[in-house]
Structure 1
Amino acid sequence: IFILIFMLHLWPRRLLIIRLFKETNKTLKMNPFIIFQPIITSICLMIFLIFWSIVGLYLSTANVFMSKTISTIGVLNFPVRNVPILHFEASEIVYCFRILHFLLLIWILEFIFAAQRMIIAGAVACAYFSRNEPLIKWPILNSTVLLFRYHLGSIAFGSLVIFVFKIPRALFLKCYQRLYRESGRFSKCSQRILGGILGFFVTKLRPLHHNAFTPISVAGVEFCTAAQN
């Protein structure tokens, strides 16, 4: 039943789906190694996560040696004494580095996935704009070289912008969903304010999306221009 409903829903767009399958077949014929690109991305992710975990272990144990004095309770013949106690505490700098370490995790993950999208977009564009024979012998390799040669700054800036706007949007959405269940004037007023903020994120900041990396790979423009287009 679900398959039948799905087919009926896609029936008006059957010509577009057929064309997409033809273009996919053409792309895979010209770029057979594009199937292995996610494997390379997974290896890069594993290497980064291992390195990130090692740094996290160092930060979790980077405590400062501290000492303080406590007073004992005088019982029977034991007088009151001041006893020094040695312990380890995390300083404010360590706490800041731990927060930065977590934020860098999200940013670099966005960077790796953005690089994957740009490499695939460049290889697919090479196959799409060629007729019978590929314009370049190794489209995946050429797209990777162009990425490291010209577009690393665009990917870093774009992934940072997407990451910066993703966190407040997620926080506002979580607060909006929690206030939606509450009843009261303050809750309704806060709900309207958060609804306006979320509407701003949806309407004004919609171009700041992962799809902006595709025009960067195809046309070689910067991130802001690609997002506007």
Structure 2
Amino acid sequence: MKIFEDYTQSWYWILIGLVIAMLTSLLFIVLLRFLAGIMVWVMIVMVILVIGYGIFHCYMEYAALKGTAGSDVTLQQLGFQTDFAVYLQIRQTWLAFMIILAIVEVVIILLLIFLRKRILIAIALIKEASRAIGHVMSSLFYPLFTFVLLAVVVAYWAVTAVFLSTSNEPIYKVFNETACDYSRKTCNPANYSTSPNYSTSPEKAQCPDSMCLFAFYGGETAYHKYLIGLQFYNVFLFFWCANFVTALGQMTLAGAFASYYWAFVKPDDMPAFPLFSSLGRSLRYHTGTLAFGSLILSIVQIIRVLLEYLDHKLQVSRTRSR
């Protein structure tokens, strides 16, 4: 409920952020077509400068902490701390950051020296890709179609998950701000204030501010016992559908740009609508391939989710046993 409240209160900011990201991406693609070499080298230089500033900042923090009480404690002596701000008060932390950034800086510079020819090839490929996008302009807007399909898949999964979670009988329990044995017992909100089982009991006298509130949806039916299995099945279907939609988008774009690549005379030998032609081929001839590949990915993902779920349960049980 809190998540949906956040979305209802800030949906326009999310929409504005998505629009800004889309426009920035479009501008970046257009600039790559005309200034591919310049932009690539500018980005490389900016990465080097940013890492260089990081090295300088770490050195300044390392020097500023000199003589500060407790700053010479080593990380081994400090041990593990839940408050990570504590590590920023240790000189050894900034020294480690500075060494790591320096190593990364040297590696990047060496890669630029030895792989400069490959970078030039990559720039040429980017220029050719920009020309391909210029002939298949609809590819810039196709990700919106994929986004809509993914939104439908996510909405269906969320609605199904909420329906499964709330399709049982609501369970009400007694809640109280103060600690007492009377709290957390089941109750009936319709007659809680007048029921003799509660209003005249000694526990009620000890907890006069207790309230009968909704706790969760539950029950003892077979449906309730296997509810977690149904939720996992719903998650599995979500993975399958999401992977299928993503794979469909990738194959459609790949087919559209393949029509550009294999055209002897560009753009005369290209289809009139390369993106729609590629989408039709994908749905007509490759649906089984997409579904089977998505199934394999979904099986791996659901196994990972099951392992993470079991690990979480085992950690909770170990914590309780301690």
Q: Is 1:29 matched up with 2:164?
A: no
Counterpart CA distance in 1 for 2:164 and 2:247 is 28
Alignment equivalent of 1:45, drawn from 150, 174, 177? 150
Displacement of 1:119? 0.6
Aligned residue in 2 for 1:159? 294
8 Å Cα contact 2:157/2:235 also seen in 1: no
AA of the residue aligned to 1:100: Y
Aligned residue in 2 for 1:178? none
Could you report, residue by residue, the CA deviation over 1:25-46 in whole angstroms, capped at 9, with x for unpaired residues? 2311220110001111111111
Query: Which of these two proteins has the greater Rg computed from alpha carbons?
Result: 2
Q: Is 1:120 matched up with 2:224?
A: no
Aligned residue in 1 for 2:166? 61
8 Å Cα contact 2:218/2:224 also seen in 1: no
Matches within 5 A, 1:123-202: 123-131=256-264, 132-133=266-267, 134-166=269-301, 168=303
Aligned residue in 1 for 2:112? 8
AA of the residue aligned to 1:22: K
Q: Secondary structure at the match of 1:62?
A: coil
Q: Is 1:111 matched up with 2:244?
A: yes
Matches within 5 A, 1:68-83: none
Q: Is 1:97 matched up with 2:201?
A: no
Displacement of 1:158? 0.4
Number of residue pairs matched by the alignment? 161
Matches within 5 A, 1:207-222: none
Could you report, residue by residue, the CA deviation over 1:89-145 in whole angstroms, capped at 9, with x for unpaired residues? 152343321110112112211111111110111011111111322421111000111
Counterpart CA distance in 2 for 1:112 and 1:31 is 21
Q: Which has the higher contact order (CA 8 A, sep 6+)?
A: 1
Could you report, residue by residue, the CA deviation over 1:165-216 in whole angstroms, capped at 9, with x for unpaired residues? 345578889xxxxxxxxxxxxxxxxxxxxxxxxxxxxxxxxxxxxxxxxxxx
Could you report, residue by residue, the CA deviation over 1:206-229 in whole angstroms, capped at 9, with x for unpaired residues? xxxxxxxxxxxxxxxxxxxxxxxx
Q: Which runs of 4+ in 1 moved over 6 A?
A: 169-173
Counterpart CA distance in 1 for 2:131 and 2:295 is 34
Counterpart CA distance in 2 for 1:126 and 1:108 is 27
8 Å Cα contact 1:111/1:156 also seen in 2: yes
Counterpart CA distance in 2 for 1:169 and 1:65 is 32
Q: Percent identity?
A: 28
8 Å Cα contact 1:31/1:139 also seen in 2: yes
Displacement of 1:8? 1.8
- List gaps (5 residues or longer) in structure 1: 67-71, 77-86, 174-229
AA of the residue aligned to 2:141: F
TM-score normalized with structure 1 length: 0.58
Aligned residue in 1 for 2:22? none
- Structure-2 change in CA distance of 1:42 and 1:65 (3 Å): closer
8 Å Cα contact 2:132/2:260 also seen in 1: yes
AA of the residue aligned to 1:126: S
- List gaps (5 residues or longer) in structure 2: 1-44, 50-107, 172-196, 203-216, 309-322
AA of the residue aligned to 1:118: M
Q: Secondary structure at the match of 1:91?
A: helix
8 Å Cα contact 1:114/1:159 also seen in 2: yes
